Structure 1
């Protein structure tokens, strides 16, 4: 028998059994709400909390417990055997000879589809993630964002939803103009440097050089010795950073330093690029697109190595600025009566709207979360990022039933203001349709990152070190071919970032990333490869596992079989709650149980019949581990 979710099938058998028990005991129970849980092993295989049924039965708890206990022995079921009631839990044993065929047949017949449980209602979903500023390489924080976003896409697709992944190209704003200003002067010097690293270095050098010039001008106008000392201290800090760049990029540095030193107003030139691009001036568009596309080329290389792909690259300039969409948003918000002028700036009173509990609930603003006014336009008439993001959100909502933005927790206020603005524009169900999937930062001990000053650890550095360390571990442990170091290293990083709940800050640790013994990508990959190795040896010995009979499996296989049956329900829960960490936890538990089983139970040397059944179990473990890793975006090696 093949079913989509064996654990759901088992739960139905439990409810079926409980219905018989209730009938014999003369009890009227609403079994639709019956929960089925996995207890501690000493109590049985599954349990039913009875306290949830007491109220509905209209009888004292003691009476219900006594009646059920009295008839348990007289009510038979082919798949379940009662163990008794302990602390208001009815505990049951599962007949593995009956249940194992359901689990094994389901896995082997469904193959790569095992774990996918179609949703009752298919939705069009956009998952927007990474969306890094295209003026520097991805850093370690973007790694967490990327693997979370990719896992969400895969999990939601497993539920049958129409899911599309989007990258928002933030090509508007002064930050971009700084990079463009520098790149136009030194682009010929790029050489073989990875393009995003080169653009990032240029962006940082321009920022620091402009800041040093401004600080020196301030010193020349300052009379206060204390203030002069503070300014000189800041100059020393920036000059120290510039020294590193001057040594690594001497020609580029000298060119930029010369341009900025001899310019009458470098900041004015940068602002002119920004204004020209927002206005769609051909000269500014040509310069800016050349810079951005150069950086994106490098970012795409990193994402390709990470195994992350996008269905759509959404340019901020095209969607929100040149289309007039942002101006339209500002005009419509002004009509709500919630926009006022402050010192020449246009401000949306999100704080006033958030005073209503009804609005807060509709916009998914947590109780007690402080909301401040949102500046839509500066006094010079330019719009802010969040203002443009309102227009972008409207664009996305027109193309999807739900939009999930994978954005750092630090942007919670901006995301709340965004949803309140959309509520004011008539999106009354915005809290359900626009989800801020918040994640905490990644802490690298001893590193405080800032791209403007060029202090960050790039994703490329982390990826390469992961692969190098994986290669060294493979060599040290004698685990086989070093050519799989790429899959192991990248898989280790992904598993590490996904194994924590998004709301937790991660302190990066190589010891945890590449722990081959437990709760890691390499541990799960090794377990998968171990299962494949057993199957390969069986094939070499001419043993046909396809002819096995799963009903011959016994108590020694039960922990693995029960876990295998739970996989589809775990995937469903992970997709519904947007919790990839549920899958990492499951895969680790399955790997632990499988290794424990194989270390204590012979497979290839088992008696004929039992041997083939056990090989079917091993094949089911391999398939389930492979399916789980796929959902996390982890590519398993064939040998290890």
Structure 2
């Protein structure tokens, strides 16, 4: 039986958030009640659904106990249980509890000593500083997060930014919980899109392709933008000259099998594989520069060409065959293909993205995306260390990124330059958990990848594989119309098409965001405008639920007010401005709050209660892999601070020294938590705007 002294020691243990503190008190009271009533029921199995009280008259927090009354639990009326627990808690005479009551039909209510509890919250935050919200939940667990993954054939567009912003924010969230995270950017440098641009370059050289704006790069035109124009022109050329598709197939064979492949050169003698490698290197450099503008960085570049040329896919293919998991139809639409039986009924053709039996190798011998993804997923978990695969990769530095993080890359046959430093292969991959950030259109293919691991006997790794699926980014009617799209059919949004040139390039959106910040505040320094623009875009890309299609409207995305990233930056800057004004007035914020105001304004209490919840809300958002939940928390924090600011007199002019010190502490605490949240969201916090 728990004594009153033991319960008090539990209640007065190390500081923690109010939810955990009050839940522990309820559990101790329940344990005492079970012992007194001689009820044999595990106290840990009693649900404690602590939440804000529905009515202010009840107090600050309430716990419904109606479910405890069931016959298979305590078998007592819920109000009787609530009254007994309230009596026990009142007997502890805890200074943090101002009042404990029971109300019908069976609620246990807490009214807290707000000044005292608030001081505890602020002390806990300021003592932890940048570590407030950090957890050790994931210590000892390595997670690979694959994100961005843009085809290395043209400029990144705004749809890619949803992937990269979600992925980078998730990486940061996981790291706050103690996980060892490796952010990988997978480069598909052997696919159709790369082949198409290689075809375009060879046709331009042969004089068989012409671009509307001119065949040469325009003055000041970035290489990736030029490639976007080539890509659109090649798509139109295929429509007009279908025979050119054979050139695409020749390029694909050359890329996959190397320069020695049959038909590996153009009529002019151009080496297709070398052209593709050079193209991809230059495009990836451009993509990394674009992403750095949004404060996005990576740990490792993985290349599809490295997976192919290392023999990883070939060995994976052999293992799948040796275990009887593949079959090769001799007739029908899939004749000559190697397929993974994955459904019942008639299969579709080999080009389909969603075949009942998944094609891994086409009839012409080229591997599909899904095939290479299976091999890649095996490597991420370290499963290819098995002698059955006998595959080895070399890892070399790519270079320092904008944030000082060293970026590594798999060495590929076309990697330019010689690196004197090689990384330990065991350092990369070898994850206990893998999260692939890929849009919802690839859900079926991802299912096939994970089911393949399961069929190979890697049940644990299959279960620890997560597809973070998100909906696509489209264009609002107004934005689509501004790009010349026919919107006369009256739809709310329009899909983008890189092949048709209907898209907004990522750098164009970033440039527009910076220009908008300068319009609102012309004297804004360029660096500050760039940070605000990046904050606006990052927040817009993650604040929606993953299941929601984003209809990008340029006006909405770049608004400086409302539920936006700029609003968050302004709130943080305002907190720092108040602290500066206090310092400039000669006021020194006391190191300790010896005397407390007798009562708090409701806006003060709501702000501090929200601050208290940050570690729990961050942990919940991370557990659910939901960056939008963290974005919502940060917005609510900024809104609570704005409410506090508007409903209390200026701190600089406050004459009651207890109130002045207390509110100065509130501002300093808010600034700390805002800083922590903004950094986890991938923002660079601005102390002045």
- Shorter chain as normaliser: what TM range? 0.7 to 0.9
The 3-state SS of whatever aligns with 1:549 is coil
**Match of 1:419?**
450
1:334 to 306, 318, 321: 321
Report the 3-state secondary structure (helix = DSSP H, G, I; strand = E; otherwise coil) of the residue aligned with 1:598: helix
1:587/1:194 Cα in 2 relative to 1: closer, same or farther (>3 Å)?
Answer: same
Q: Determine the structure 1 residue equivalent to 2:150.
A: 132
Question: What residue in structure 2 maps to residue 102 of structure 1?
Answer: 120
Q: Which residue of 2 aligns with 1:59?
A: 76
Q: 1:5 to 1:521 in 2, by over 3 A?
A: farther
CA contact (8 A) 1:21 1:72 kept: no
Q: Quick check: 1:49 aligned with 2:58? A: no
The alignment yields a C-alpha RMSD, in angstroms, of 2.7
Q: Tell me if 1:400 matches 2:417.
A: no
Measure the CA separation in 2 of the matches of 1:632 and 1:111: 17
CA deviation string 1:521-545 (max 9, x = no partner): 1221111111001000011112111
Change (3 A) 1:299 1:584: same
Matching of residue 624 in structure 1 with residue 673 in structure 2: yes
Give a deviation string over 1:52-86, Cα, whole Å, max 9, x none. 43243232335424544666765532212214324
| 1:197 partnered with 2:225 | yes
User: SS where residue 457 of structure 2 aligns?
Assistant: coil
Find the counterpart in structure 2 of residue 291 from structure 1: 279
Give the superposition deviation at 1:609.
3.0
2:617 matched to 1:570?
A: yes
Instruction: Please say which of residues 539-548 and 566-575 is displaced more in the overlay.
Output: 539-548
Whether the 8 Å CA contact 2:90–2:100 is kept in 1: the answer is: yes
What is residue 197 of structure 2 aligned with on the other side? 179
Q: State the alpha-carbon separation in 2 of the partners of residues 175 and 189 from structure 1.
A: 20
Q: Distance in 1 between matches of 2:580 and 2:13?
A: 25
Q: Could you tell me which residue of structure 1 aligns to residue 499 of structure 2?
A: 452
Task: Name the CA shift for 1:44/1:30 in 2 (closer, same or farther; >3 Å).
Answer: farther
CA 1:280–1:371 in 2, change beyond 3 Å: closer, same or farther?
closer
8 Å CA contact 1:83–1:92 kept in 2: the answer is: yes
Q: 2:652 aligns with which of 592, 596, 604?
A: 604
Residue pairs, 1:531-542, within 5 angstroms: 531-542=575-586
1:376/1:626 Cα in 2 relative to 1: closer, same or farther (>3 Å)?
same
- Find the counterpart in structure 2 of residue 226 from structure 1: none
Per the alignment, residue 376 of structure 1 pairs with: 360
Q: CA-to-partner distance for each residue in 1:580-613, whole Å, 9 max, x for gaps?
A: 1111111111111111112121322222232122
- 1:275-311, CA deviations, whole angstroms, 9 ceiling, x for partnerless residues? 1221122744321111111211211111111111111
Q: Deviations over 1:292-349 (max 9, x none)?
A: 1121121111111111111111010112x11222122222222343422231111110
Where does residue 261 of structure 1 map in the other structure?
none
Kept after mapping to 1: 8 A contact 2:26/2:85: no
Distance, in Å, in 1 between the alignment partners of 2:595 and 2:555 is: 42
Query: Which residue of 2 is the match for residue 213 of structure 1?
Result: 241
The alignment status of 1:435 with 2:466, answered yes or no, reads: yes
Give the corresponding residue for 1:251.
Answer: none
Q: How is 1:255-404 mapped onto 2 (pairs within 5 angstroms)?
A: 266-281=244-259, 283-319=271-307, 321-342=308-329, 343-351=335-343, 372-398=356-382, 399-404=430-435
Q: Do 1:548 and 1:609's aligned partners in 2 also have CA atoms closer than 8 Å?
A: no
Give the Å deviation of 1:17: 6.5
> Secondary structure of the equivalent of 1:152?
helix
Higher helix share: 1
> 14-23 or 310-319: which moved more?
14-23
Map of 1:249 onto structure 2: none
Distance in 1, matches of 2:54 and 2:521, equals 36
Question: 1:229-271 deviations in whole A, cap 9, x for unaligned?
Answer: xxxxxxxxxxxxxxxxxxxxxxxxxxxxxxxxxxxx6433332
Contact 1:127–1:163 (CA<8 Å) still a contact in 2? Answer: yes
TM (normalized to structure 2)? 0.77
Q: Is the 8 A contact 2:79 2:102 kept in 1?
A: no
Deviations along 1:460-515, one digit per CA (max 9) or x if unpaired, are 1221222222222335xx9x667522222211111122111112112223454344
Deviation at 1:424, TM superposition (A): 1.1
**Which SS does the other structure have where 2:137 is aligned?**
coil
Query: 1:221 corresponds to which residue?
Result: none
Distance 1:26 1:390, change over 3 A: same
User: Aligned partners of 1:421, 1:568: CA distance in 2, in Å?
Assistant: 37
Change (3 A) 1:271 1:127: same
Contact kept in structure 2, 1:133 and 1:171, CA below 8 Å = yes
Structure 1 residues 484, 4: closer, same or farther in 2, change over 3 A? farther
Report how far residue 565 of structure 1 moved: 0.7
Cα-to-partner distance string for 1:365-421 (whole Å, 9 max, x where unaligned): xxxxx9821001111121111111111111111121111000000111111111111
Aligned match of 1:527: 571
What's the TM-score, normalizing by structure 1?
0.83
Q: Which deviates more from structure 2 when the two are superposed, residues 20-29 or residues 51-60?
A: 20-29
What is the rounded CA distance, in whole Å, between the counterparts of 2:113 and 2:201 in structure 1? 70
The CA distance in 2 between the partners of 1:98 and 1:117, in whole Å, is 25
Determine the structure 1 residue equivalent to 2:268: none
Using a 3 Å threshold, how does the CA distance of structure 1 residues 70 and 569 change in structure 2: closer, same or farther? closer
Q: Distance in 2 between matches of 1:517 and 1:374?
A: 48
List runs of 5+ in structure 2 lacking aligned partners. 1-11, 206-214, 261-270, 330-334, 346-353, 383-429, 481-493
* Corresponding residue SS for 1:522: helix
Which of 1 and 2 has higher RCO (CA within 8 Å, sep 6+)?
1
Tell me which of 484, 487, 499 is aligned to 2:531. 487
**Cα distance in structure 2, aligned partners of 1:374 and 1:619:** 57
SS in 2 for 1:294: helix
Report the number of matched residues. 570
Q: Which runs of 5+ in 1 are unaligned?
A: 215-264, 354-369
